[in-house]
Structure 1
């Protein structure tokens, strides 16, 4: 009941925030609308008052929220402040495009999952390894930029923008589907060998059951605990679609929401964000329904744990090599000036004077790459610490955390970033807040599992029996046992948080020019990617190295450990 109440309260809070965006933005909506309708008209008091009466802003925030909520009940999302057209048709048109794109991306993801899982079914042992983990760690906007550059610009195989036919669907679907397929493939491939080693498999073999039937039963055993993860991947497609739609100029709902946020067309933004939120919630509900159907009536209330995740096999030298390359580039860049504009040297190719070339303003790309590490990775570290503190607090309130986590999981960082940018304007602080708001659920789930196991341990029972006070038990036993493994988990998520911040910067929702943030560097280089690809490749390779470092580093953090903490870590599925 408490989780359901928290879930309902969180949903109402999100809907209220969306409905009150005109007031939360801190800017005069009437002035925005007046400039959008007629840029040359003088913003006199009379003109602004007329716009406020036309939009109903003079009635106050509560009346505006009530009118918006009443309109939702009638299926009326209002009219665009900029174009004056109805919002609902625009939202439905964008939603149709996005659903088609996400359907194609999901097909690519499932196809890649099958490719990664079939060898495991044949050999009976994990074979996805570092390849699948590396694919899962590559952000969609980075893969989209690489696909556009290689397949669209250099080779000319496929169109690079628009939405005019099936050929325009290929590159966006691949950019969205490959990371999702890598994650799903790794989850299933890592879980199958443990299932195939279970006692029932040996009994079935002894009874003469065919190999194909055993493999099918193993898949049925593996899928129920993983279906929620499949739902999370599908929700992630809605967030990744915003960046991919922007890269390829696809007129989907994500690009519609981003354009509305930048132009302060708040009714259109409200409708688009509401559609994305409902899409995420429906996806989560569908995943829960599929899991119940797979379990069947007998096991419907069972809580099947994920099999123990296996470490990714990487060569011991890989983390050191990746770290050395990345730190060398950053250190070299820090010794150079990232802001000096040299118009005579704009778009210069790599040379000894400019090892990574120059950008559209003649600024040194290596210098901007080095100085951007602080903005990208440093901000990610602060977000990581904040998420760690929140998760440790919520780990002692699992019922409250579960309901809030459902809402947070339905909102990818990009969607929250759009809302925060609409309310407070784009910037590094807003991007950090957006990522922090949705990055805590996995850490909180891990903390809750640890708290539950530590509290049930025999030595704490003995402490209570000898009269140890609750505060002593909490600070000297429970919290130290929980904080260390959750902190390691948070450290493993640091590169993912950095990639999320970079994606917001890439979309123009994070750091503002001339800041040398990695996502912003990619965004700035898109206009001349055909003439000067090195400006886009430098931050792209840096992000890829960061992702690879996370994957290879996690392989050592995931090595089997003995004791209560190791068992709890396997039960909670950290690193899966």
Structure 2
């Protein structure tokens, strides 16, 4: 009598991703990404926030197709301060320009500011924080006192000072906002570094002969990225509001660029009678800021290593 040979059932895609014994680094990384996405997708508000940001990206990319009119020129004689409806869905401003078209093109400026500030401020804060936390001693004291100086001033006031020194313009506004945005990232990176610099993992790397530079760049910085990504996402709303504030004061993007803060500034004169001129860009800032906040909350829950596995 022949003995039956047991057959192994092939693993499903989810079982392969969630395996507690991955066979390769790629499988481990994909499993980690799947777990993070599962946590994120279970938060409906976070998914709504992600949808808002994706919509903003699509609007910015296809602005030339979506905008029904020119964002910088209008019919001053026949289309000045028209109410929403008809040919102009959101009405027109005091120059006869279509507000909807200006909002659509303004999304490009918003993303331009947000992305550049994140690219400049986040790596700078990460570098300062990890060096400060790993080196300790007088290096830590000097870098943290510089950080405290920046944190002592309100972000908008400090940005106003830098823009006043550099001159008005969208590029100078980006530089000013980036200069004032890095200290919180440095604080977070330093706190994360202090928790891991004396761990067995870092001690083993040090015993293998790795230099301090390699330890900071290759082993400590990657451990700080999760917290940094969450903080950057949550700070996007503040960056947008700061840029809008600079534009409102005439120190950001200059006319006729369709920057949302500058649009509110030009519409405040007509707020009682032609309310839509200022309300439309204000509502756009509200929705985009809400989207970034919801997305940041979802990422914080999904990337939390203490969260329960699903």
The offset of 1:529, in angstroms, is 1.7
1:445 to 187, 191, 201: 187
SS at match of 1:345: coil
The offset of 1:320, in angstroms, is 5.1
CA contact 2:80–2:96 (8 Å) conserved in 1: yes
1:354 to 88, 95, 101: 88
Mapped to 2, the partners of 1:473 and 1:448 lie a distance apart of 14
1:382 to 103, 116, 126: 116
Aligned counterpart, 1:542: 284
Any residues of structure 2 matched to 1:221-370 within 5 Å, and which?
315=45, 318-319=48-49, 322-323=52-53, 326=56, 334-335=64-65, 336=67, 337-343=70-76, 344-370=78-104
Aligned counterpart, 2:160: 418
Aligned counterpart, 1:253: none
Which structure has more relative contact order (CA 8 Å, sep 6+)? It is 2
SS at match of 1:493: helix
The offset of 1:421, in angstroms, is 3.9
Aligned counterpart, 1:408: 150
Q: Residues 508 and 487 of structure 1: is their aligned pair in 2 closer, same or farther, counting only changes over 3 Å?
A: same
The offset of 1:506, in angstroms, is 0.8
SS at match of 2:301: coil
Per-residue deviation, residues 264-291 of structure 1 (Å, max 9, x unmatched): xxxxxxxxxxxxxxxxxxxxxxxxxxxx
Per-residue deviation, residues 212-244 of structure 1 (Å, max 9, x unmatched): xxxxxxxxxxxxxxxxxxxxxxxxxxxxxxxxx
The offset of 1:561, in angstroms, is 5.0
2:172 to 430, 436, 439: 430
SS at match of 1:559: helix
Q: Residues 470 and 444 of structure 1: is their aligned pair in 2 closer, same or farther, counting only changes over 3 Å?
A: closer
Q: Residues 543 and 488 of structure 1: is their aligned pair in 2 closer, same or farther, counting only changes over 3 Å?
A: same
Per-residue deviation, residues 320-351 of structure 1 (Å, max 9, x unmatched): 55447656765775433101221110101112
Mapped to 2, the partners of 1:314 and 1:410 lie a distance apart of 37
Mapped to 2, the partners of 1:413 and 1:497 lie a distance apart of 10
Aligned counterpart, 2:252: 510
The offset of 1:384, in angstroms, is 1.5
Gaps of 5+ in 2: 1-42, 133-139
Aligned counterpart, 2:21: none
Mapped to 2, the partners of 1:386 and 1:355 lie a distance apart of 37
CA contact 1:505–1:511 (8 Å) conserved in 2: yes
Q: Residues 482 and 406 of structure 1: is their aligned pair in 2 closer, same or farther, counting only changes over 3 Å?
A: same
Aligned counterpart, 2:301: 559
Mapped to 2, the partners of 1:372 and 1:424 lie a distance apart of 23
Q: Residues 562 and 418 of structure 1: is their aligned pair in 2 closer, same or farther, counting only changes over 3 Å?
A: closer
Number of equivalenced pairs: 253
Q: Residues 432 and 331 of structure 1: is their aligned pair in 2 closer, same or farther, counting only changes over 3 Å?
A: closer
CA contact 2:80–2:94 (8 Å) conserved in 1: yes
The offset of 1:467, in angstroms, is 3.3
Aligned counterpart, 1:237: none
Any residues of structure 2 matched to 1:11-160 within 5 Å, and which?
none
CA contact 2:81–2:91 (8 Å) conserved in 1: yes
Mapped to 2, the partners of 1:327 and 1:478 lie a distance apart of 32
Q: Residues 332 and 349 of structure 1: is their aligned pair in 2 closer, same or farther, counting only changes over 3 Å?
A: farther
CA contact 1:417–1:509 (8 Å) conserved in 2: no
The offset of 1:407, in angstroms, is 1.9
CA contact 2:159–2:180 (8 Å) conserved in 1: no
The offset of 1:368, in angstroms, is 0.7
